[in-house]
Amino acid sequence: MADLVDRVAKYSMFLHAYANDTQLYFHFSHNDITSSVDQHDRFVMDIVHWISFNKLKLNTNKAELLFSSSSHSCATLSGRYLVLQLGADTTVAYSHVRLFGVNISSDLSLDHHIFRMCVGCYY
């Protein structure tokens, strides 16, 4: 895993690992989205090769992609940026993901989280 941390730092990304769950974060400006996504694609290919080299397996069924931004910025993203290619598998960006029990929406609102909490309380 130390090699993975070094690779993540090389691409100016952030890593959060907890038990068997690893999350990668990176920030980019709306002005340089093309170069940032290209860098992200190179990073993903590097990680896929690293996983294969170390005889590990990436569970692509559990891979999730979330672009977080204002609702206006999220609406202006083209379809090219809303997919993640993991070897032969493709992951499409979600409108929200669950992170440590909190539902995070792409527009960073808490609407979906509150809805899920209310559903759980009424259950």
pLDDT tens per residue, range 33-84: 777 777 888 888 888 888 888 888 878 788 777 777 766 666 666 555 567 7
Check residue 41 and give its pLDDT. 80
Check residue 82 and give its pLDDT. 67
Token pair for 43: 């990073």
Are 70 and 107 a contacting pair, CB within 8 Å? yes
Beta bridge partners of residue 94, listed in sequence order: none
Are 86 and 116 a contacting pair, CB within 8 Å? no
Check residue 43 and give its pLDDT. 85
Check residue 76 and give its pLDDT. 63
